[in-house]
């Protein structure tokens, strides 16, 4: 069952967000690797205020078999429940101050802020906390005004700042006029007069929802955004070129992979939306390092013209001749995750299509995305003719795989 955040009063407990926050904490503790800026601290606030390490793994995220669990990183003897602070505004402000002070101590620091929960977008994005609405006359005072916070964080000397906002951005009509008239809403986590001056920074914001859209996730399990984000960090978002046998996820490739992964999954989860940023980004910064190994590639196989895809058996075949067959004939594009490498894509027909077999030239598929179009011949082809050579051009040799 999908869980959606409501947008105004009557907001209920979001199990998917609590699960997502714990899952992301697990991931940072167990998997985050950046030798230039290793993980040194995590401030975690939850509602309810209990963290259960390793209980909320995101489905489908590929962790290496030898990956150490989060509880081990915490020095625990097993995955025992840990009390944490409740996510009230007062507690968040205290935790934020500690986080900010540490981040602000060195320009080489990587500051990472992740929020999962209810959200609104009026003129600014608001992140709602546990005590949202506790004051009936100032219901949004206990919300975080993210845009205001982001602007003031320009004073932080950490040159790399990443923000992950796993929350809705709907525009509540019933509140609109109030806030047009009433002015600023929510609380900035940094106030006017904070010491320092604005500095250039690489500060991308990755959001789970586009403007006026909802974020969502399955009940009791991490949000779609948290799951997709971890998938990207585990390999989909790597940049070309290994560094000391490690693949690098940087701030730019992460953004691109997130957008592509959301585009890929939107066929099955229509709620997913792609966001566009207006962030301050003055460079590309390495964020995370991934051990060498198979890299996933989001692959979409389509046909031209499209309906023909439903009349044939479509497959992908790797360099060793291992064939992956589409489970069933469908006219919609075939979406599959392949591992980086060389493939041929083909289609077989035995029931009256314009050809009996069609196969592409070898194609190398690389992260994060590859689209493949099987072009149907206008005239029937003799059996087993490879799809190669455009009109007037010499055929190309089949590349060695």
184-213 residues near another protein, rule: CB under 8 A: 184, 192, 197-202, 204, 210-213
> Does a cis peptide bond (omega within 30 degrees of 0) precede residue 50?
no
**List of residues 6+ apart from 173 with CB closer than 8 A:** none
Q: What number of chain residues touch another protein (CB under 8 A)?
A: 93
Q: Which 362-401 residues touch another protein, going by CB under 8 A?
A: 362-364, 366-367, 369-373, 375-378, 387-391, 393, 395-401
3-class DSSP state of 121: strand
Measured CA to CA, the distance from residue 260 to residue 22 in angstroms comes to 25
Shortest Å, Cβ 91 to another protein: 24
Measured CA to CA, the distance from residue 273 to residue 266 in angstroms comes to 8
Shortest Å, Cβ 192 to another protein: 5
Q: Which 323-362 residues touch another protein, going by CB under 8 A?
A: 333, 340-342, 358, 361-362
- If the CB atoms of residues 204 and 217 are measured against another protein, the closer one turns out to be 204
Taking a C-beta distance cutoff of 8 angstroms, is the pair 153, 112 a contact? no
Measured CA to CA, the distance from residue 121 to residue 240 in angstroms comes to 36
Shortest Å, Cβ 322 to another protein: 16
Q: Which of 288, 296, 291 is nearest to 24 (CA)?
A: 288
Is 236 exposed, middle or buried, given 0-12, 13-18 or 19+ CB atoms closer than 10 A?
A: buried
- If the CB atoms of residues 64 and 307 are measured against another protein, the closer one turns out to be 307
Shortest Å, Cβ 52 to another protein: 34
Shortest Å, Cβ 149 to another protein: 11
Q: Helices marked H in 38-135 — which ranges?
A: 70-73, 89-103
- If the CB atoms of residues 85 and 263 are measured against another protein, the closer one turns out to be 263
291 is a contact residue toward another protein (CB under 8 A):
no
Measured CA to CA, the distance from residue 333 to residue 372 in angstroms comes to 10
Q: How far is CA 317 from CA 268, 330, 347, 362, in A?
A: 25, 19, 11, 9
Q: Which 98-127 residues touch another protein, going by CB under 8 A?
A: 121-123
- If the CB atoms of residues 11 and 171 are measured against another protein, the closer one turns out to be 171
Per-residue binding string, another protein, 292-321, x by CB under 8 A, is ---x----x-x-xxxx--------------
Measured CA to CA, the distance from residue 401 to residue 362 in angstroms comes to 8
- If the CB atoms of residues 44 and 249 are measured against another protein, the closer one turns out to be 249
- If the CB atoms of residues 23 and 109 are measured against another protein, the closer one turns out to be 109
Q: Token pair 């250039």 is at which residue?
A: 200
Q: Which 245-284 residues touch another protein, going by CB under 8 A?
A: 247, 251-252, 255-256, 259-260, 263, 266, 270, 273-284
3-class DSSP state of 260: helix
- If the CB atoms of residues 75 and 392 are measured against another protein, the closer one turns out to be 392
Shortest Å, Cβ 74 to another protein: 33
Shortest Å, Cβ 154 to another protein: 8
Shortest Å, Cβ 1 to another protein: 21
Shortest Å, Cβ 62 to another protein: 17
- If the CB atoms of residues 49 and 401 are measured against another protein, the closer one turns out to be 401
- If the CB atoms of residues 226 and 297 are measured against another protein, the closer one turns out to be 297
Shortest Å, Cβ 214 to another protein: 11
Exposure string for 149-176, b = 16+ CB within 10 A, e = fewer = bbebbbbbebbbbbbbbbbbbbebeebe
Q: Helices marked H in 172-250 — which ranges?
A: 173-182, 224-231
Per-residue binding string, another protein, 131-170, x by CB under 8 A, is ----------------xx--x--x----------------
Among 44, 144, 162, 238, binds another protein (CB under 8 A): 238
- If the CB atoms of residues 138 and 266 are measured against another protein, the closer one turns out to be 266
Taking a C-beta distance cutoff of 8 angstroms, is the pair 5, 215 a contact? yes
Q: Which of 371, 370, 268, 355 is nearest to 313 (CA)?
A: 355
Q: Helices marked H in 78-170 — which ranges?
A: 89-103, 146-152
């Amino acid at each position: 069952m999908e869980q959606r955040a409501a947008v105004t009063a009557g907001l209920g407990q979001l199990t998917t967000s609590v699960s997502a926050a714990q899952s992301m904490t697990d991931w940072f503790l167990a998997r985050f690797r950046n030798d230039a800026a290793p993980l040194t601290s995590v401030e975690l606030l939850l509602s309810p205020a209990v963290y259960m390490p390793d209980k909320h793994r995101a489905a489908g995220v590929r962790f290496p078999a030898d990956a150490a669990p989060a509880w081990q990183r915490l020095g625990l003897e097993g995955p025992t429940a840990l009390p944490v602070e409740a996510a009230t505004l007062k507690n968040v402000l205290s935790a934020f101050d500690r986080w900010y002070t540490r981040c602000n101590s060195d320009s080489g620091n990587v500051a990472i802020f992740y929020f999962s929960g209810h959200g609104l977008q009026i003129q600014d994005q608001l992140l709602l906390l546990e005590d949202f609405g506790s004051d009936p006359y100032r219901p949004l005072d206990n919300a975080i005004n993210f845009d205001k916070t982001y602007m003031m964080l320009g004073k932080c000397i950490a040159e790399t700042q990443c923000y992950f906002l796993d929350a809705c951005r709907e525009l509540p009509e019933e509140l609109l006029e109030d806030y047009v008239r009433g002015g600023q809403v929510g609380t900035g986590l940094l106030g006017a007069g904070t010491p320092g001056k604005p500095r250039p920074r690489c500060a991308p914001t990755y959001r789970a929802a586009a403007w006026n859209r909802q974020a969502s996730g399955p009940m009791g399990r991490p949000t779609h955004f948290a799951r997709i984000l971890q998938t990207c960090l585990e390999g989909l978002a790597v940049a070309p070129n290994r560094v000391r046998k490690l693949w690098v996820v940087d701030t730019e490739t992460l953004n691109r992979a997130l957008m592509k992964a959301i585009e890929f999954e939107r066929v099955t989860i229509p709620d997913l939306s792609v966001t566009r940023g207006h962030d301050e980004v003055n460079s590309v910064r390495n964020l995370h390092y991934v051990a060498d190994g198979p890299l996933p590639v989001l692959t979409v196989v389509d046909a031209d013209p499209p309906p023909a895809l439903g009349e044939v058996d479509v497959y992908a075949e790797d360099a060793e001749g291992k064939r992956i067959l589409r489970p069933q004939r469908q006219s919609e594009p075939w979406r599959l995750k392949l591992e980086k490498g060389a493939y041929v894509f083909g289609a077989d027909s035995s029931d009256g299509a314009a050809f009996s077999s069609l196969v592409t030239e070898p194609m190398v598929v690389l992260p994060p995305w590859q689209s493949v179009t099987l072009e149907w011949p206008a005239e029937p082809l003799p059996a087993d003719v490879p799809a190669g050579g455009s009109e007037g051009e010499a055929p190309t040799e089949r590349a060695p795989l």
